[in-house]
Amino acid sequence: MLWQNSNHRYFLNEESINSNAPVESGVYGLYNIMNWVYIGESANIREALIDHSRGRDSCLRNAVPTGFTFELCPADLRARRAEALVAELAPVCNRTKLRKVLGL
């Protein structure tokens, strides 16, 4: 399962986020040159990406994401779509968060 808009990838900086990320419901992915870093879902993709770009999460800071992509998705399907993308792409920070939740 690929991103529905796999041809649309953008730099992860506030100017690019404000120009390209919608203020709508959907899922998004952060990546660097080597890995998928994080897959998330939000009612406001732009707001979530700006928050991530400010480097508050230690895993994201360490993984140094350089780009993002997204797809619009209704609120009732977002979590399921994000879970499917996490299972397929195995982003490093989603795995780290899951280990913490499970106490591993």
64 φψ region: left (φ > 0), alpha (ψ -120 to 50), beta (else): left
- With a cut of 60, say whether residue 99 has pLDDT above it: no
Can you tell me the distance from the alpha carbon of 43 to that of 45, in angstroms, rounded to the nearest whole number?
A: 6
The domains found in the chain, sorted by start residue, are: 10-102 (3.40.1440.10)
Q: What is the pLDDT of residue 74?
A: 97
For 55, how many CA atoms within 13 A lie in the half-sphere containing its CB?
7
The tens digit of pLDDT for each residue in 54-95 reads: 988 899 999 999 999 999 999 999 999 999 999 999 999 997
Global confidence as pTM: 0.89
- When pLDDT is cut at 50, 70 and 90, the band that residue 4 belongs to is confident
